[in-house]
Structure 1
Amino acid sequence: MTENRTITLVVVDDQATVREALAVMLGLAEDVTVVATATNGAEAVEAAEQNHPDVMLMDLNMPVMGGVEATGHIRRAQPHTAVLALTTFDDDESILAALHAGASGYLTKDADRITILHAVRAAAQGQAVLAPEVQRRLLALTSRPAPATPPKDEDFNLTAREREILGLIGEGLRNPEIAAKLVISEATVKTHINNMFAKAGFHSRADAVRYALRNRRSPEDPQQ
């Protein structure tokens, strides 16, 4: 974005009151123009294609397509568009998944107008912005000692379904979203996750996310 024009922004949130409030609040800034809003990730991808905005303000937990998946689509198709995650979740797996998908920043919804505006402006200039609490969590994650020799997926004897679910966890999907995507019950998802955790020795979903991102396969890779 050049400095002599306004920042074009798309606001994405499935809650109408939040979406409209953000659009009005940010649109009042002289250097920001809200060019579109979207209610889910699929609409966000379409809005990005139609408007080529400087910044997408992206919720993560949405129906149809989640914000992490939408972020990946947008960043691959339009690398000039920055995506700023704004969500109620500040858990480890959501942070890691959003940043891995290409988000330029990560804020929680308790951020005030000045903080969000600063983040939007910074993202438009190609800068990364993280809420202080998110920075602390990332610092804690990166300061944990890594295993000397990271185990391979095949060492765990995961089934094809367990590997599939592990990949979706790595994309930031939660159990209900995984169940809907795979057309299985949430109870079945939980059973697979429990089995996976027992085999792999994961202690939290953050452990699973880190492993999934480190060992991500492309769709063309053969199953082991």
Structure 2
Amino acid sequence: MHQPLQPLPPGAQPDTASDVAIGAIPRQIHLALIDDDAEFRGAVIAAVQHSNDTRLVAIAASGAEGALLLQQAPADVLLVGASLPYGAGLTLIRQAARRWPGCAIMAGTTLGDRADLLACIEAGAAGYLSKDSSPLQMLEEIRSVGSGGGSINPLIAHRLLVRARRGEPVLSSYEAQALELIAHGFTAGEAARRMQVTRHAVLACVRRIYARLERAAGRQIT
């Protein structure tokens, strides 16, 4: 049975700054990065340099280097370029989901490849990071996914709802309500306020839906 979203305790305020995380943020998040976009790699490096809780432990600049990186000890969060040539991004996400099962995987995206985000999620990604994000936004997304959340936008929410009408994923009423709000343009925080739960409860709900999508896709492949 899927866990329902938990209502706020009396007197609590939804969507506060502490709700960015899904649980306690690890003392230090170990981040690995695979992307052939030098400008984006530089932006991630610069963002992490200004963080005291996120450390960049490995960098790969191609799909081939990324495959070697995955033979190393796992990171807490892996950021993979969705548009790596020859489908290497999806391949690496699938490999990381098998080899680093405890790692939270993110797809680094541009506007042009966001239509492929659902494929990344089915491959094992728990979220995405827009390459035009500010340094603060980058760190917030990495922390959120690293502590159990999932990235979501109206396009993904709409596609999930369309698929749910076909029978997979099967959504609880809470999950359907959260996706309906986000599909209509509300942020996770705004959806949380309307549902009278915390933002991190909505993002954890999203992460559970993604995990079911990945398992379903895995069954189809095998």
Give yes or no for TM over 0.5.
yes
In the alignment, which residue of structure 2 is the partner of 1:112? 134
**Which has the greater radius of gyration?**
1
Q: After TM superposition, give the deviation of residue 17 of structure 1 in Å.
A: 2.5
Q: After TM superposition, give the deviation of residue 145 of structure 1 in Å.
A: 7.7
Q: 1:141 aligns with which of 146, 151, 159?
A: 159
In the alignment, which residue of structure 2 is the partner of 1:167? none
Equivalent residues in 2 for 1:11-160, closer than 5 Å: 11-63=33-85, 66-89=88-111, 93-130=115-152, 135-144=153-162
The question of whether the paired residues in 2 share the 8 Å contact of 1:8 and 1:35 is answered with: yes
Aligned-partner Cα distance in 1 for 2:221–2:75: 28
One-letter amino acid of the counterpart of residue 62, structure 2: N
Gaps of 5+ in 2: 1-22, 169-212
Aligned-partner Cα distance in 2 for 1:91–1:43: 22
Provide the aligned length of Structure 1 versus Structure 2.
154
Q: After TM superposition, give the deviation of residue 3 of structure 1 in Å.
A: 4.9
- Scaled by the length of structure 1, what TM-score is found? 0.58
In the alignment, which residue of structure 2 is the partner of 1:218? 221
Report which structure shows greater RCO (CA 8 Å, sep ≥6). 2
**Cα distance change on mapping 1:138 and 1:49 into 2, 3 Å:** same
Aligned-partner Cα distance in 2 for 1:149–1:123: 27
Q: After TM superposition, give the deviation of residue 214 of structure 1 in Å.
A: 6.8
**Cα distance change on mapping 1:56 and 1:148 into 2, 3 Å:** closer
Alpha-carbon displacement from aligned partner over 1:123-152 (angstroms, at most 9, x marks no partner)? 22122123xxxx2102322344878799xx
Aligned-partner Cα distance in 1 for 2:163–2:26: 46
Alpha-carbon displacement from aligned partner over 1:100-129 (angstroms, at most 9, x marks no partner)? 011111232122111110111112212212
**Cα distance change on mapping 1:29 and 1:89 into 2, 3 Å:** same
Q: How large is the Cα RMSD of the aligned pairs?
A: 3.2
**Cα distance change on mapping 1:48 and 1:145 into 2, 3 Å:** closer
Alpha-carbon displacement from aligned partner over 1:192-224 (angstroms, at most 9, x marks no partner)? xxxxxxxxxxxxxxxxxx9xx8797436xxxxx
- Scaled by the length of structure 2, what TM-score is found? 0.59
**Cα distance change on mapping 1:142 and 1:28 into 2, 3 Å:** same
The question of whether the paired residues in 2 share the 8 Å contact of 1:42 and 1:70 is answered with: no
Aligned-partner Cα distance in 1 for 2:41–2:97: 21
The question of whether the paired residues in 1 share the 8 Å contact of 2:82 and 2:113 is answered with: no
Q: Identity of aligned pairs, percent?
A: 28
The question of whether the paired residues in 2 share the 8 Å contact of 1:10 and 1:37 is answered with: yes
